[in-house]
Each structure stands twice: as structure tokens, then as C-alpha cells.
Amino acid sequence: MKKITDLLKRENRLTIFTVDMLDYHSILEAMKGCCALFCCLDSPYEYDDKMVDMEVRGAINVVEACAQTDSIEKIVFTSSLTAAVWGQNISSDQKDVDERSWSDQDFCRKMKLWYALAKTLSEKAAWALAMDRMLDMVSINPGLVIGPAVAQQNPLVTMSYLQGGEQMYVNGVLAFVDVNFLADVHIRAFEDRSTIGRYFCFNQIVNSDKEALKLAQTLTPLISIPSRYNFEESEVHAERLRSTKLGKLIEGTAY
């Protein structure tokens, strides 16, 4: 919040609203006059079954507020790759995972993958309501967000994403994205009128011990690494994530 308030001092066109995602009217008030909504519902608190319900309710309130705001042209809804990669047969199923894939909510509940469940259910709720209200919406499904101090400033979100990280790594669906690249993709998704549906967003898939170590080093001290860490080159796990839509968006041919 400090960086936002510092920006407020320099930019007189910026207005900051404090809203409660469970209070529909506070969201509606903040939306007045807006032409776009970039919605990210990551919680600063630890994810559990109650947080899942709150995030779903928040998504519904936000989309409904957009439906009641005449000036809104488009919603860019931030979800997560974890809303697509988890399923009952994740270890044995070698099918590619793309924007058509959804995480299995029963499996997420069984394994207590609360972050993945929250992202799956909130995105599905947002899509259902957006289509019912005939709103123009796209969703961005990013990998683990990294960048200068991003993980360190958002430790609970980072560690919630990495719940089940070893399984994601072995199955070729653990990926990360730079925060600046992610921001650029959001802007492109809004500005390009041809964008439609979901967009996986990641810079790299982590599929070898060497790449896993590099990622862990960027996440210290959240993830501890022995001072003398040695590893033998192991097999390179097959990459299963596919994102042809992202490439087209970056090239300016979104559909």
C-alpha cells in the first residue's frame, strides 16, 4: 500500500478506494466511471476452505458490479494456472494442459489444495455470471509470479501457489511468470478487442533440477536451500503446458 500511496502524491488523476469484496455496494461505488476492471482476488491471508468461499463470493460481487456499471467495456480477470493443472490422474495422465483444462474441484478438496480450489471456483463463477450478463471478459491464468521482491512481499500467496509444487514439477506443469510481463499481458488483453476466453501466462516451465534450483534461489528466504547444495543432472520432465493463445496475443493476433 505504501507504493500506491506514494503514487497518489505524484498522480492527481489517481483515486484509491478501500472496498470489501463481500460488500457489493462498496465495489459498485468504486466502479463509477470506470471503463475497465482488472480483477485480482489474491488473499493476503492463508488459504483454507472458508477463504475459498469468500473468494468465490468476491468474484460474483465484482462481476455483478461491472454488469451494473454502464461505463465498463471489459473485465480482465486474474485467475491462476492452478485452476487448470490439478486432476485425479495428474501423475499418470500425460495429456497436454491448455486453456480448455480445468482443475478437478473434488480432487482439490481431497488434497486440501485450497488456493487451486479458490482460483478454479472463483474463475468459473466469474465466467458463468459474465456470460449471463453478456459482459466482455477475458481471464489471465498466470504461473507463479516472480520479480523484484514479489514473493517476499507476498509470502502467503507464493507458498499457497506452491502447495503441491513437487507434483506440479514432476508432471511438467510448474511454471513462473515475471510480474512486469504479466502486467503487460493484462494491458494487451484489455486493449486488443479480439481477445476472448482464457489465456495461460508464463515465461518458463520448470522441468529440471537446475531450473528448480534457480527458482528456489529467487524465492529465498521463503524456501531454504542448503549452503552446499549439489545435485546430479536428472531427467528432464516433459513439458505439458501449452499456450499458443499467449503467443498470438503478444504478436498482436489474439484470437
Residues forming the active site: 119
- What are the residues facing 36 on neighbouring strands? 74
3-class SS of residue 16: coil
Identify the three-state secondary structure at position 144: strand
The DSSP annotation for 58-84 comes to: HHHHHHHHHHT-TT--EEEEE--GGGT
> Do 166 and 91 form a contact (C-beta atoms < 8 A)?
no
Cell 520448470, residue? 206
Angstrom CA distances, 104 to 6, 82, 114, stand at 42, 10, 12
